[in-house]
Every structure is written in C-alpha cells, then in structure tokens.
Amino acid sequence: MTEIWHTIRSTYHTAVEERGDPRTADWLLVHSPWGPILTVVVYNVICWNAREITRALHPLKLRSIIVLYNFFMVLASLYMTYEFFFSAYYARYSLTCQPVDYDSNPLALRMARVCWCYYFSKYVELLETLFFALRKKFNQISVLHVYHHSSMILLWWSGVKYVAGGQTFLFGLINSIVHAIMYTYYGLSAVGPHMQKYLWWKKYITIIQLSQFFILGVFSVNNLRVQCDFPTWLNKFLFLYAVTLAVLFLNFYFKTYSRRRHITEAKDKRPVVNGNGISASEQYSKSSNHRKLL
C-alpha cells in the first residue's frame, strides 16, 4: 500500500509540478487541478438538486441582470475572438501543425493570456445555470447543459496548464465566434417579448454550434495524420469530445425543432371547432342531412 501511495504521489507531482507550462503555473485556477475539480463537483451537486435548493423561493425575473450578463459575454467573446485571431496571425500559425511556443516572447504570452481568459470565462458561464434555477426554469438545466459546462472547465484547465497556445487556439477562436452570436441572441430575447419578431434565427444558432464540432473533429483527425510536435493524446481527446458534443447537440436539435414542426403540422390539420364544440366538417354534414330531410 505504501508503494502504491508513493507511486500516486510521484505521478501527481510529475504531472502537476514538472510537466506544466511554467509561464502559466502561478496563474489563477491553473496550478492545481483541485480548484476546477471541486468547482465541477459542487456545480453538479447544485444542478441536480436545484429544485430542492430553490423550493422556498419565488421565481425571479432577473431581466435586467440577464440582459447585462449576455451583452457582457458578447463583448468578452468578441475580445477573445480578436485576441485569438491576431495572436495566431502575427505569429504565423499553421492550421495543419502548430506546436506550442513555450517562450516568453510577447506573441507567445499574448496567446497564453487569451487562452487563460477563455478558460476563466467558463467559470463565468456557470452563472447561466444560477439564473435558470432562480427563475425556476429547471428544464433548461439539462444533461447537455451540465455536461457542456462541466467538461469545458476541466478541458480548458488542461489546455492552459499544458498547452497554452499552439493548435489549441482554433478551438477557442471558433467557439468565441459562436458565443458572440449566441449571447447576442440571448441578450436580445431577454429584452422583452417585442423582440421576438427579430429572433427568427434561433435554430440556426444550433446549426452553427454543430458546424463548429464538425470543423474541430476534421481538424483533430487531420492533425493526427501529420507528424507534429503537439500532444497526440490531446488531439485524440478533442476529436472524441467533439463527437460527444455533436451527438448531444444533434439530439437537442431534433427533439426541439423536429418535434415542434410535427406539433405545428398537427395543429394545422386539426378541424376548426365552433362554439358548441362541433367541428366544421361535422357541422356541414348535419346541415346537409337537415336539408335532405326538408
């Protein structure tokens, strides 16, 4: 037992103390995995017990707070999009193979900093679940929602800890663009019902989200085909992760939009009922029979 414990401690020390990116080692929520792990555990406990936790509370509106939150996230997403793109552009990043630059030159540090900003934004996004719970919108706290928020914190902890830059940038860049669009929609929808006529493009947000997973999956597979000084395990993990999200989002898309279309079609085919509870076809049939009797 002593030897097993010694091996575990030695492996942990090597992984956390020796193999991490020295530039990001002392940054907030990066040095140890226990911060993000504890956050995810507490977050999941709250999510799956949200009804009990908020049972004594009345549903809150929170409209002003939600509008401010969403437009703050739009600005944050646009900032990260800008930083990811131009950090990669000025450093002449390659889309086929881009190792991490562990140097402390300004461009390498700029990329590492935006990777950390993106990672930290995953903690800020947990506020969305708090808003759902306080508004008693428990259907929004779905398996997809909880899995996505939990996994992104753990995934991007490992990204900033070990590979703050390199091929990691594309994930953050594409997702920041998608989030800028997504939070614009949510911010406008929270303004009030009068905005609904301008929000016909809701389902296309899910299509855009699905597109990003397809791009990341293809990107990861291509990187596995070439010899590149970038962790193979991370490329494999990113591919599997993109597949899991694609499956979950596809399931959400079909349940939300295909079912809604069938319900709408069923309503359109439903016979019109008069004030007596008689359908138009039944009323016509009775009138015809009455005329025949006359």
The per-residue pLDDT for range 94-142, each reduced to its tens digit, is 988 899 999 999 999 999 999 999 999 999 999 999 999 999 999 999 9
- Whether the per-residue pLDDT at 58 is higher than 70: the answer is yes
Stretch 238-250: mean pLDDT: 92
Cα–Cα distance measured from residue 73 to residue 48, given in angstroms and rounded to the nearest whole number: 25
- Encoding tokens for residue 114? 């935006």
**The predicted structure's pLDDT at residue 247:** 93
- Whether the per-residue pLDDT at 287 is higher than 60: the answer is no
**The predicted structure's pLDDT at residue 267:** 54
Q: Report the catalytic residues.
A: 148
Stretch 173-197: mean pLDDT: 93
Which range of 16-20, 42-46, 236-240, 264-268 scores highest in mean pLDDT? It is: 42-46
Cα–Cα distance measured from residue 284 to residue 89, given in angstroms and rounded to the nearest whole number: 71
- Whether the per-residue pLDDT at 283 is higher than 70: the answer is no
Residue 143 has a CB neighbour count (10 Å cut-off) of 11
**The predicted structure's pLDDT at residue 261:** 57
With H, G, I as helix, E, B as strand and everything else as coil, classify residue 279. Answer: strand
**The predicted structure's pLDDT at residue 1:** 72
Cα–Cα distance measured from residue 161 to residue 240, given in angstroms and rounded to the nearest whole number: 20
- Whether the per-residue pLDDT at 290 is higher than 80: the answer is no
**The predicted structure's pLDDT at residue 13:** 79
**The predicted structure's pLDDT at residue 11:** 82
Cα–Cα distance measured from residue 89 to residue 163, given in angstroms and rounded to the nearest whole number: 18
Stretch 211-228: mean pLDDT: 88
User: What is the pLDDT confidence band of residue 228, given thresholds at 50, 70 and 90?
Assistant: confident
**The predicted structure's pLDDT at residue 9:** 84
Task: Answer for the pair 54, 136: CB distance below 8 angstroms, yes or no.
Answer: yes
- Whether the per-residue pLDDT at 37 is higher than 50: the answer is yes
pTM (two decimals) = 0.86
Task: Answer for the pair 30, 157: CB distance below 8 angstroms, yes or no.
Answer: yes
**The predicted structure's pLDDT at residue 190:** 92
Stretch 35-46: mean pLDDT: 98
Percent with pLDDT over 70 in the chain: 88
The burial class, CB within 10 Å (0-12 / 13-18 / 19+), for 159 is buried
Instruction: Give me the chain's average pLDDT, please.
Output: 87
Cα–Cα distance measured from residue 50 to residue 130, given in angstroms and rounded to the nearest whole number: 9
* Dihedrals phi, psi of 125, to nearest 5 degrees: -65, -15
User: What is the pLDDT confidence band of residue 174, given thresholds at 50, 70 and 90?
Assistant: very high
User: What is the pLDDT confidence band of residue 263, given thresholds at 50, 70 and 90?
Assistant: low
**The predicted structure's pLDDT at residue 12:** 82
Stretch 221-240: mean pLDDT: 86
Percent with pLDDT over 90 in the chain: 63
**The predicted structure's pLDDT at residue 275:** 42
